Amino acid sequence: MIIDNRVATIVEHQSAEKRGYETVVQSLDDKIDCGDEPGILRHEVVNQDTYLVESWEAAWIEADRRHRRAEIDRAIEALPAKLQEIARLLETVSITDAARITGIPRTTVNEMRNAIRKEFKKRGIDDWLK
């Protein structure tokens, strides 16, 4: 059970590091595929001002995502150990799966989730939850 939870935590952490890859900004030197015709450089079709605004917005979105993740991590770390375990599990699995993995009744896991939400609400981050 402990090994399963540790493996799940490691996999979750690795997956979290991969999130946000789609916000990577493209280079103006990239060639745009034009089908049968030869590709053209992105800077030939993209206004530099637009490119800079979009790049800044992507960086801002990524910074906000990291800030939220850090706040959520701090909130989880402040929870009692058993609630931390459930909170981490519920980031990636359903209440039913968390109950099965931990051997805790589903209704108890649901009550624990409600306690976690209450703590998040105290920190003002409850609206970030699904």
Instruction: Flag whether the pTM goes above 0.75.
Output: no
Count the neighbouring beta carbons within 10 Å of the beta carbon of residue 99.
20
Rounded average pLDDT over 96-102? 93
Domain boundaries, the chain: 23-72, 78-130
| Measured distance CA(129)–CA(123) in Å, rounded | 12
Cβ atoms of 12 and 89 within 8 Å: the answer is no
Least confident segment among 3-7, 48-52, 74-78: 3-7
The amino acid occupying position 59 is A
> How many residues are listed for the chain in this entry?
130
